[in-house]
Amino acid sequence: MNKLVLAVPSKGRLEELTREAFAKVGMKIMRPQGVRSYAGNLQGFDDVIVRFLPAGEIARELIHGTIDIGITGEDLIHESLENGAAAVIFAQKLGFGNADVVVGVPDAWIDVKHMRDLSDVASDFRAKHGRWLRVATKYIHLTRKFFADNGIAEYRIVQSVGATEAAPATGAADLIVDITSTGATLKANGLRILDDGVMLKSEANLIISRTANWNDEKNQILQKILLKIGAEIKEI
């Protein structure tokens, strides 16, 4: 099978903006069976299959190579697997879906402005409270790496699936790591982003799977698409 599989976010703003971005460069993404369908095609590209998938699913499948290329957020690649980024190529930033993965602490922590403050707090915490400092997040891999890079070892992650920003108020955690585009949700929950607490600036990317089954024909189709999008990748 020598068709190229392109995965597109299946719903919401991400889907709309992806379609717009592709339409702008003359590639129309078609969803002939309607919004409930997961299959589509790319007008004028007979050898491309379009699959509509949730953004998180696209990240996972790119890493595992079950789809060839796809549009999803950079943060989701990092979060799906510890070394997920090694399995893909970020071919082109698409200028939408911008959001930052950030460290947010209660605004009332007036003594904590930087990661170095947090490292002091983490260090003292156990002796004062008899437990580790707790960080609520779904970005486990990113958090571990960022905290380790900042020399913070004395904390525990509390896995959070939704409404992470509520964790300090419910007592589930002391601070959070979460994704935010405007910071408004954090602010509404009495949280503040540390001055050097931006772990990742993410946006929607056209991403190529390194682990997919590549051959000359598929590579040629890919090059055609990349040319239209304005990205240049020679080696996969």
Partner 1 sequence: MLEQAKRRADLGALIVEKGALLINPPMLLAANPFFDLAGEELGRRLLLTTGNNDVEYCLRPEFTLPIAKEFLLAKEKNQHGAAFGYLGPIFRQRAEGPVEFTQLGLEILGKADADAALEKVFDFAIKAIEIYDFKPKIRLGSVAIFEALLANVDIPDVWRPRIRHRFGQPEAMARLLERLADPHGTKAGAIPWKKDELILAISDQMLAASLSLTGSRSPEEIANRYFEKQELAASNVPEKTLKTLKQYLAVKGDALAMLNLVEKSAFDYGLDISAPIKRLITHVKLLQQKHNIKDIEFDASFSPRLDYYTGIVFQMIITGNVAASGGEYDRLLQRLGSDKPLNASGCSIWIDRLEEEKAK
Residues making contact with partner 1 (CB under 8 A)? 82-83, 106-111, 113-114, 116-117, 119-121, 123-125, 127-129, 132, 144, 147-148, 150-151, 153-157, 168-169, 171, 174, 189-191
Longest pairwise C-alpha distance within the chain: 65
195 within 8 A of 115, measured Cβ to Cβ:
no
The SS3 call for residue 36 is: coil
Give the nearest distance from C-beta 121 to partner 1 in angstroms: 7
Give the nearest distance from C-beta 74 to partner 1 in angstroms: 20
Nearer to partner 1, 36 or 128 (CB): 128
Nearer to partner 1, 23 or 169 (CB): 169
Nearer to partner 1, 114 or 210 (CB): 114
* Of 191, 171, 224, nearest in space to 22 by CA: 224
Nearer to partner 1, 58 or 177 (CB): 177
CA-based torsion, 155, 158, 162, 166: positive or negative? negative
136 within 8 A of 164, measured Cβ to Cβ:
yes
Structure tokens at 100: 């930052």
Ramachandran region, residue 97 (left: φ > 0; alpha: ψ -120 to 50; beta: rest): left
List beta partners, residue 178: 102
| Length of the chain measured in residues | 236
Give the nearest distance from C-beta 54 to partner 1 in angstroms: 22
Nearer to partner 1, 98 or 123 (CB): 123
Give the nearest distance from C-beta 201 to partner 1 in angstroms: 22
Give the nearest distance from C-beta 171 to partner 1 in angstroms: 5
Q: How far is CA 228 from CA 21, 26, 177, in A?
A: 11, 8, 36
Nearer to partner 1, 124 or 217 (CB): 124
| Count of Cβ atoms closer than 10 Å to residue 73 Cβ | 25
Give the nearest distance from C-beta 209 to partner 1 in angstroms: 19
Q: Please report where in the chains the tokens 């602010």 appear, as a residue.
A: 187
